[in-house]
Amino acid sequence: MLLPFFDNPDLDFVARTAVGHAAMGTSDIGPVLETLSRCADGDPTRWHDSWSAEADRFQAAAVEARAAGRMATAAAHFLSASEFYDQALAQVDGMPDADAVLLPTFRLHRAAWDEFVAASEGRHLPVDVPFEGGSMPGYLFRPDAGGGARPTLVVVNGSDGALSGLWATAIRPALDRGWNAFVFDGPGQQSLLFERGVPFRPDWEAVLTPVLDTLVARADVDAGALLGYGISQGGYWLPRALAFEHRLAAAVVDGGVVDVARPWNAILPPELTAMLKPGERDAFNAAMAAGPSDPERERTFAFRARPYGGETPYDVFAAVQGYALGDLIGKIATPLLITEAEGEQFFPGQSQELFDQLPGEKEIVRFTRDQGADFHCQPMARALTGRVVTDFLAARIG
């Protein structure tokens, strides 16, 4: 059994994720391990500063390589800088000045990502999606700049993952197959949350449909070979959308989520859970405020609650209750693969629950600790996961 990087389980999970991303090419593993060695349990500021310093080094190397015309090297360094700036934000909710740190660091991350895309010499492109009078920022990754129509993997991100992480979990596996991959920020995700204040929404069909409309209008996308992949909380959003949107040839959720509220409700005593109904707002908030003060816990809650847009704890918990698939599972007709990781810590048992309720073509694949593929979204086994995911999808587009 792999020894933990840190005693804190959340911090250990983030560390495993960073190592797994590096194994898929966001950087060498050495800089990740070296940066982790400078971090410590219970010191989020040190975490942020260590990752930011390494990101700055990658950014400077990228700029130097670009100036010398070494575009492939520049692109690799920009990708690493983007990933390391994102990792710097992994513990920001525990920092006393979290609000002052978040947006500047996010902007460094996104700027490096945009430079990475620009350094691809035409292979990868920014493609915005028209959305409710505005737009969602998106990026189309292509194996080459030729522009031929290709199968395209449409990626639905989770609750707090960055686009640089999707390089490891979805983009590179798709490119290795000769497919396109499309990633974007939806409501409550990354730039739409941090820059524009747009919160999550449960009705993801309203998000996925304009994405597909944008893609099928492009000559470099094979409209008959659209594929879907949802990671983490995307394991709720994508199935929700598939109950209404039927243009995907096949899809994968990594893993499955039938009720986002379940882990939120698990931290409440029964008497508070009973107050999550209309008319109990003031009583719920008063009960929450009556507990002992814990500034660190309060900062963490504020950070996690921000994407749901609520003004009070009741508003947040009440909003989360709307993120459940319920009877909509019966309307999903798209062939669907569901992953289930041993030791799933956020949505335990929900992959199997989704599988059991699906009416159509379905598969479930279980990843284990013996494979080094345990914990939420198999952070240390992304190459294995990518092969399983793309094998399932490839078999359904011929």
Q: Across all residues in the chain, what is the average pLDDT?
A: 96
| R_g (Cα) of the chain, nearest Å | 21
Percentage of the chain beyond pLDDT 90 is: 89
Whether the per-residue pLDDT at 1 is higher than 70: the answer is: no
Please write the tens of the pLDDT for every residue from 345-388: 999 999 999 999 999 999 999 999 999 999 999 999 999 999 99
Please write the tens of the pLDDT for every residue from 67-102: 999 999 999 999 999 999 999 999 998 888 888 999
Separation of alpha carbons 382 and 191, rounded Å: 25
What is the span of the domain harbouring residue 138? 125-260+322-394
Burial of 104 (0-12, 13-18, 19+ CB in 10 A): exposed
Alpha-helical segments (H) within 89-141 = 98-118
Please write the tens of the pLDDT for every residue from 104-127: 999 999 999 999 999 999 999 999
Rounded average pLDDT over 250-255: 98
CATH of the domain at 22: 1.20.1440.110
Please write the tens of the pLDDT for every residue from 170-213: 999 999 999 999 999 999 999 999 999 999 999 999 999 999 99
pLDDT band at 34 (very low <50, low <70, confident <90, very high): very high
pLDDT band at 279 (very low <50, low <70, confident <90, very high): confident
What is the structure's pLDDT at 81? 98
Whether the per-residue pLDDT at 340 is higher than 80: the answer is: yes
DSSP string covering 237-269: HHHHHHTT----SEEEEES--SBTHHHHHTTS-
Same domain assignment for residues 64 and 77: yes
Q: Where is the domain boundary, 118, 138, 163? A: 118
Helix or strand (DSSP H, E) at 151: strand 150-156
Laid out side by side, the sheet with 138-141 consists of 125-126, 138-141, 180-184, 150-156, 221-231, 250-254, 336-341, 362-367
Strand ranges for 38-145 from DSSP E: 125-126, 129-131, 134-136, 138-141
Is residue 334 in some structural domain? yes
Q: Where is the domain boundary, 278, 298, 320? A: 320
Please state the domain count of the chain. Answer: 3
Is residue 2 in some structural domain? no
Same domain assignment for residues 72 and 199: no
CB 345 within 8 A of CB 255: no
The structure tokens listed for 376 are: 């939420």
Is residue 243 in some structural domain? yes
Separation of alpha carbons 228 and 254, rounded Å: 11
CATH of the domain at 245: 3.40.50.1820
pLDDT band at 243 (very low <50, low <70, confident <90, very high): very high
Residue type at 354 in one-letter notation: L
Separation of alpha carbons 374 and 347, rounded Å: 13
Same domain assignment for residues 21 and 42: yes
Exposure b/e, 334-360, CB count within 10 A at least 16 = b: bbbbbbbbeebebbbebbbbbbebbee
Is residue 66 in some structural domain? yes
Please report the sign of the dihedral spanned by the C-alpha atoms of residue 214, residue 219, residue 223, residue 225.
negative
